[in-house]
Amino acid sequence: MHFLSRSLILGALIACSSPTETPQPLDGLWKLESASPGVPPRTMTLQQRGSTISGTGRAMGVDRDIPIAISGSYSASTAVSPPLVALIFNFENGGGLTAQFNGTLQGDEQISGTVVYYGITNVPQTGTLEFSR
């Protein structure tokens, strides 16, 4: 009986320690592959829960990295649309700099699209970004 109770406890611990959520399409570390002028995140770590995305990133500052808080949404593919990704980059201590990214998830390894930077100049600056795992 003592052996059986230890086995049951060990089995319960193993079951509780295994992941309970299925990895989502955008979960993980993404690296900047290409960018037009602007201040894009060089790296970003995203977490997706359903259609909601949250994360953190780092951009190149003049003398140090600029931390970035990331929020956004994900829409799965349909018959007429690829998977869509919308992200907002809020640059911490960036003097009010924000960016809005709209792109598509291509396969499991690439996100590419357009970005609009606000706060770099008085006029919003547009560009393109491409990230890969």
Mean pLDDT within 121-125: 88
Per residue, the 3-state secondary structure of 67-100, as one string, reads EEEEEEEEECCCCCCCCEEEEEEEECCCCCCEEE
Residues with Cβ < 8 Å from 37, sequence gap 6 or more?
A: 125, 127
Q: What is the CATH number of the domain that holds 43?
A: 2.40.128.30
pLDDT attached to residue 8: 46
Q: Let me know if residue 5 belongs to a domain.
A: no
pLDDT attached to residue 95: 66
Instruction: Look at 12-26, 43-57, 68-82 and tell me which has the smallest mean pLDDT.
Output: 12-26
pTM of the entire structure? Answer: 0.81
Q: Let me know if residue 4 belongs to a domain.
A: no
Percent of the chain with pLDDT over 70: 83
**pLDDT band (50, 70, 90) for residue 10:** very low
Number of domain units in the chain: 1
Q: Let me know if residue 37 belongs to a domain.
A: yes
Q: Let me know if residue 39 belongs to a domain.
A: yes
Burial class (CB in 10 A: 0-12, 13-18, 19+), 116: middle
Sign of CA pseudo-dihedral 14, 15, 16, 22? positive
Q: Higher confidence at residue 120 or residue 45? A: 45
Domain extent for 30? 22-132
Mean pLDDT within 99-127: 93
On the question of pLDDT at 60 being above 70, the answer is yes
Q: What is the pLDDT of residues 18-27, one digit of tens each?
A: 455 788 999 9
pLDDT attached to residue 19: 53
d(CA 64, CA 85): 28
